[in-house]
Amino acid sequence: MPDHGRDAPEPDRLISTVTQLTAELADLRRDLGRSHLLDLASGVVVAQLALSPAEAMEHLARLAGSTGTSVEDLAADIVNGASGTAAVRGTDLARPVGGDGNDLDAQDPDSRDRARRARRTEAAVDAAAKTGGSADEVAETLLDGGLRPLGVRGLWLFRRTETDCLELAGQAGISPLEATHWQWVPPGPSSPLHRALSDAGPVWLPAGPSGGERLPGSAPGGARALLPLRRRGTVTGLAVVDWPGPRELDDATQRTLTDLSVPAARILDAGAAGPADPAVLAPLLDQLTLPGMALRTEPSTGALHIEHLNRPALDWAGRVHGSAGRPLAQVFPAVEAAIGQLAGVARETAAPQRAARLPVVHRAGDPDPLHDVRVLPVGPDRTVVLWHGSTDPGMSLTRVLGRLENLAAFEDDLIAGTSRWSEQAYRIFGLDPATPAVPLRRLAPQLARDEAGKLEDLLTELTQRHQGAHTVVRALREDGGLRHVRIAAEPLLTGGVLTGITGVYQDVSAQHHTEIALSATYDRLTVTQREAAVRHQLVLQLQQAIVPEVPVLQRLPGLQVAARYRPAAEEFRVGGDWYDVLPLPSGRVLVAVGDIAGHGIDSVTGMVSLRNALRGLAFTGHSPARLMSLLNEVTMHTHGNPTATAVCALYDPADRSLHWASAGHLPLLLLREGRACFLDPPRNILLGAMPSARYTDQVTALAPGDTLVLYTDGLVERRHTGLDESLAGLRRAAERLGPGSLDTRTDRLLESVTGDTDDDTSLVVVGVA
């Protein structure tokens, strides 16, 4: 259902609001009609007695009180008298209050009442037109106010087009099917309607048309009145008034109809009602015993308007007066939005739409919901809505079964010897829906041979023990397919006697195959998991042997060294970080840190290869730059083509110089006299990126008491923090270390600086003696 926002009114409040607004609109139209009539009468008094408008209204009130006439009737008499209506010979407007002479008393009461009614109707029609009423609504006002008292059945209002066709612009008292038949009347001399237009005068037919001519109306012999409608001296249309039978159209009736043709002409300005085709909808809906209505979509706004309600739907709507032609929101406000959405989908997809209940949420005190709603498209802008007044158990059960995958219902009548299957059952067993359903006791030929025993056991529980039971059997389809079908059934007992069996068939083939596949997969996963655990343990032991978390370092000339290794997250404990501190025969000390990209066995084997290669190359006596070049070639020929960053440094205790090179690694941190700074590394490419790469190195002079920090990216990198900010945090943490042994300060640094990328970390802290 569409979401109208948190502030959308609840259904009961919406219904109350629409009802209130509809009543207010009716009151407004009555007030406007009354005010219009009083304004006309007041204008006559002002002109004849030279009074102000306020004095004229007061005079009308006093005159109505003195004559015992309502103000509205008196106003109608005054306007009729001023306009020369024959039924009113004049009213003594100057008569004093309480006088006893009034020309109205001498007039024919019936003629006077008809004249008053006609004048009030004219005012009501003007008010309905001014408040936006459709042509049909205004025509209904004219019929109810002035024509029904004359026995009139229906009113037809035709607009004259530029091509002299007659288009049905408004109607009241007639069915949609009748209106469709007379939607257009082409020009022609044989048409009595066009002859009336040509004569430009009323045509009175007390016994209906003669000579086999056809005119609008349900009764061929019913009286007709054809009244040309004029606007500003031009005949713009035609009004047809029909009676259910012959009728004497006396002078008084003719005068009333002629007077009412004046407001009828103004109805044409209200606009023609939309065509009510297809005409077959109304009579079809009227034959249904369940509620139904035809809806038309307004092309410009998309709003739904009611074209027709059958009798059950009218009862459901509370017999709202003039519901045909009204917006759906006025008659069914609680479900208008939901039906609008279903109707839109139905028109777009050209497929019926369903809803179990509208509105979906129903509370105590709300109007009764619509059950089993079906919305059917019948054209580009029309839909038919059908529903039930209460829940249909059969349809509800069908919906319940539809929610369960591959489930079908069956019922065997053991007395009549018949069986019923739902549509899904035929698909499960691969049978033609046109063939008779197979009773449960004769289902064996549809099953595999070795399944007969299961079926017999099931039938025994049902027919002898009168207990419900279920089983799973294999069904052989005519197309060669095999289905695993679960049968669940219950006995139907009448007076203790078994009269039937009811139950469901469920195709559980997918479930059966899934269970087998899952069982095999579970076995394979168990084996794989054990193998992975052994492999993981071996790799972890290898890594711990090569890169221990807290190594025991030997004494080094002129240096103190503390190294730490922090593994990554538990599920990624094997990584590619490494460090090395190695005294060389030349008296210098190799200090190195590296990081192989990735995790797992490949990164560990790559790390071992590079670490051992660098150890061997360091004994050649080459400079750090040359060592990096050679290590790059080793990386290029290592299995898996890894890439790595690294720092290779040679410390000479003779002059406390650090000769070092970097391959795309993070900068070294130097802490001197409580102040920390990063050493700008040479701009060298990382290892394994390209063959024959050249590397440069540089020399940094160290002083006694200096502390040098080498590390990998797992120490500082954070997901939502820039690298510069992370390095600044490392620098500040180093400056806050304070006094203590080198091991203590190294542990403090590892605790205070922590990355969050789940990467492993190598940290080497070198103190110059």
The model's pLDDT over 250-280, given as tens digits with 9 standing for 90+, comes to 888 888 788 777 777 777 765 444 444 445 6
Higher-pLDDT residue of 570 and 414 is 414
Query: Residue 2's pLDDT is what?
Result: 46
DSSP class of residue 7? T
Q: Helix %, strand %, coil % for the chain, to 5?
A: 40, 25, 35
The percent of residues in the chain predicted with pLDDT above 90, rounded, is 22
- Res 624 pLDDT > 90: yes
Higher pLDDT, 105 or 454: 454
Judged against a pLDDT cut of 70, whether residue 208 lies above it is answered with yes
- In the numeric block, the tokens 């027709």 are attached to 308
Report the chain's mean pLDDT, rounded to a whole number.
Answer: 79
The mean pLDDT value for 14-24 works out to 65
What pLDDT does 104 receive?
A: 46
Has residue 440 got a pLDDT over 90?
A: yes
When pLDDT is averaged across residues 281-288 and rounded to a whole number, the result is 82
The CA-atom distances, in angstroms, between 137 and each of 15, 380, 391, 496, 624 are: 21, 25, 35, 63, 99
Strands (E) located in 477-569: 482-494, 497-507, 559-566
Residue 671 scores a pLDDT above 90: yes
pLDDT band at 459 (very low <50, low <70, confident <90, very high): very high
The secondary structure of residue 584, as a DSSP letter, is -
User: Residue 721 above 80 pLDDT?
Assistant: yes
Asked whether 42 and 82 are in contact (CB, 8 A), the reply is no
pLDDT greater than 50 at residue 401: yes
The confidence score (pLDDT) of residue 629 equals 94
Is 112 a residue whose pLDDT tops 80?
no
Lowest mean pLDDT among 38-42, 210-214, 448-452, 460-464: 38-42
93-107 residue pLDDT tens: 555 433 333 444 445
Band of the pLDDT at 190, cuts 50, 70, 90? low
**Total-model pTM:** 0.36
Rounded-to-integer distance, Cα 530 and Cα 521, Å: 14
Take residue 371 and report the two structure tokens written for it: 């059950």
pLDDT at 619 over 50: yes
Whether residue 697 is predicted with pLDDT greater than 90 in this model: the reply is: yes
Q: How many other C-beta atoms can be found within 10 angstroms of the C-beta atom of residue 628? A: 28
CB 657 within 8 A of CB 650: no
More confident residue, 72 or 711: 711
Instruction: Give me the pLDDT at residue 125, please.
Output: 66
The two three-digit tokens of residue 454, written as one number:
């299961």
Does 433 have pLDDT greater than 70? Answer: yes
**701: exposed, middle or buried (C-beta count within 10 Å: 0-12, 13-18, 19+)?**
exposed
pLDDT recorded at residue 102: 45
CB-based contact 411:502 (threshold 8 Å): yes
pLDDT of residue 545: 57
Quote the pLDDT of residue 602: 74
* pLDDT score of 478 more than 90: no
DSSP 143: I
Q: What is the DSSP letter of 327?
A: B
